[in-house]
Amino acid sequence: MAPDPDAIQRAISIASCLYLPLALGYTLRKVGVLGTKWTRPCMVWLMVLVEPPITMYSLWVLKTGHVAVGRSSAAFLGGVGSILLAASLITTAMIFVGRLASEPFGHDARTRGAFIGSVMFSNVGFTLGVFICLLFLDIPGQSVGIVYATYFLPFFVTIGFAIGRHYGRAQKLSLGGQVLSLFTQPLSVLPLAGFAVGLILHRVASAPPQWVQPANKVVIHAEVAIYAFTIGCTLSFRSIRKYWRECATVCGLKFLITPLVGVGVVFALRSLGVLSQQPIVGKVILIQTCMPAAIMSVVLAKLFRLNEDLASSCWVVTTVASAAVLPFVYLAVTP
């Protein structure tokens, strides 16, 4: 059987935008060419300046109707809400799965909290999930992927922080303070503003100009490569040997159990008439449930003094292991 040119092109895109920059960043730091102080400001500027317009465009382009989360206002908002509900239910279910999977290891509270955080939160955003949706399903996949990923930030600062406080040694940040910062700090306000403006444009403006679509793809590819390079500059493999059993378990939960939970949630919501029957919605949810651990699980561990070494190890191992999983995801979501 002849190789699929589209599949080969997508594999090249993933390697060139994700894994090669990741390896290059790690190598340059190890040989002393680059430090790490610049990495956090770089990520902050990407989130503040680049992600809001991408989010805005992703929702604006739904005006074309081919994504079909609803053309009327009520149907559109209902479609967005049902996707956010599915994402929240999947993540909530994985909290209990992570708690059960932690039991055989005999973890202390700090380690258990970090383990659960790694299991529940996946990289569904621009750095992987939305990027894969774009590669495999084109602009419609990106748009629905953005909708799915929007649940993450509010969920993270509420349920995620509650878990961090429960298992952490000390309460570093109050829930009220974090909710307030969600609506006052540029790091959270601007991405949320991009989402709001995109919804408005979807309802009141005509479809975006044709030239925006190729520009959007170039910007997303460049952003993913920069993210991967900066993360590579901060990678550390010291703790992976110590926590290899936990890392292997998280891989199994991320790439086997979470997709099964996602399929169950999709089936249940569709049976109740809540979630759209459009195939692309199910495909995007499948892609997003096959993603590795989120870097924000490491941030959660840092904020609440959980086991940062475990969280970092799980993030590194699942991110690298996702390279072996993505070909199967591609076969599952493409004709």
Taking residues 187-207, report their average pLDDT: 78
Rounded alpha-carbon distances, angstroms, from residue 226 to 17, 27, 32, 80: 8, 15, 19, 29
For residue 75, pLDDT over 90 is answered with no
Tokens standing for residue 179: 């909710």
For residue 201, pLDDT over 60 is answered with yes
What CATH fold (topology level) applies to the domain 15-327?
A: Na+/H+ antiporter like fold (1.20.1530)
Q: Which residues contact 267 (CB under 8 A, 6 or more apart)?
A: none
Q: Under a CB-based contact definition with an 8 Å cutoff, are residues 161 and 175 in contact?
A: yes
| pLDDT for res 101 | 97
**In the chain, % of residues over pLDDT 70:** 86
Q: Please give the Cα distance from 294 to 315 (Å, whole number).
A: 7
Q: How deeply is 103 buried, as exposed, middle or buried, from its count of CB atoms within 10 A (0-12, 13-18, 19+)?
A: exposed
Taking residues 129-149, report their average pLDDT: 88
Q: Please give the Cα distance from 231 to 316 (Å, whole number).
A: 10
Structural domain boundaries of the chain?
15-327
Taking residues 240-269, report their average pLDDT: 95
For residue 86, pLDDT over 90 is answered with yes
| pLDDT for res 249 | 97
SS3 (DSSP) at 108? coil
Angle at which helices 5-14 and 308-333 pack, to 10 degrees?
A: 160
